[in-house]
Amino acid sequence: MSEQITITPTRPYLARAIYEWICDNQLTPYLLVDATQPHTDVPVQFVKDGQIVLNLAPHAIHALHMSNEAITFSARFGGVAKEIYVPVRAMLGIYAKENGQGLFFDPAEYADIEDTHVAQASETKKEAEPSKKKPSLRILD
C-alpha cells in the first residue's frame, strides 16, 4: 500500500517572500485579488471586472497578517476604515507598483483543493439546524 502525501500549495509562502522582497527594496507592494471568490471581503465599490488591486504598503495598512489561509489587514478606503479578508485562493498576484516585478498565480491552482471555510461553514450550519424552535416573546408585569 502506498500512502498519498498531501502537499500544501506554494502560493502563500511565495506571496510572503515576494512581499518581503518588495518592502526591503522600498517599493510599493500591490496585491491583485479575484473579488468573486467566496469569503473575499474587499470594498466592492472599487472592484472592476471582478478584480481589485490593493496597496499593501506598510504605511497604508494596519495589522497585516499573511497566513496559509488568507491575508487580512485593515485599511482606509475613501476615509472609511475597513477590515479586509482575502483567501489565498483569491490572490492572483503580488507585485511592485514601480516596476511590475513580482509573481502572478494560476487561478486554477486551488481548483482541486477544498475551501476549508466552506467546509467549516457547512459543519457549523449542520450543528445549528436541530434547534428550529420558533422564538417566543412574553411580557412580564
28-67, pLDDT tens digit by residue?
999 999 999 999 999 999 999 999 999 999 999 999 999 9
Weakest mean pLDDT among 16-25, 54-63, 106-115, 128-137: 128-137
Q: Which CATH architecture fits 8-102?
A: Roll (2.30)
Q: What is the pLDDT at residue 5? A: 81
101 vs 87: CA distance, rounded Å:
22
Grid cell, residue 100, equals: 511590475
Distance (Å, whole) CA 73 – CA 92: 17
pLDDT of residue 17: 97
**Is the CA virtual torsion 122, 127, 133, 134 positive or negative?**
negative
* pLDDT attached to residue 140: 66
Question: What is the per-residue pLDDT for 7?
Answer: 81
Confidence of residue 13 (pLDDT cuts 50, 70, 90): very high
What is the per-residue pLDDT for 2?
63
The SS3 call for residue 62 is strand
pLDDT digits (tens, 9 = 90+) for 119-131: 444 444 444 444 4
Domain ranges of the chain: 8-102
Q: Are 56 and 73 in contact (CB under 8 A)?
A: yes
How many other CB atoms are found less than 10 A from the CB of residue 70?
20
For cell 471586472, the residue is 49
Whether 56 contacts 42, CB under 8 Å: no
Residue carrying C-alpha cell 512581499: 19
Q: What's the order of all strands across the beta sheet hosting 70-77?
A: 61-66, 70-77, 80-87
Per-residue pLDDT for 135 more than 80? no
CA–CA dist 74, 64 (Å, integer): 7
Q: Cell match 510599493: residue? A: 28
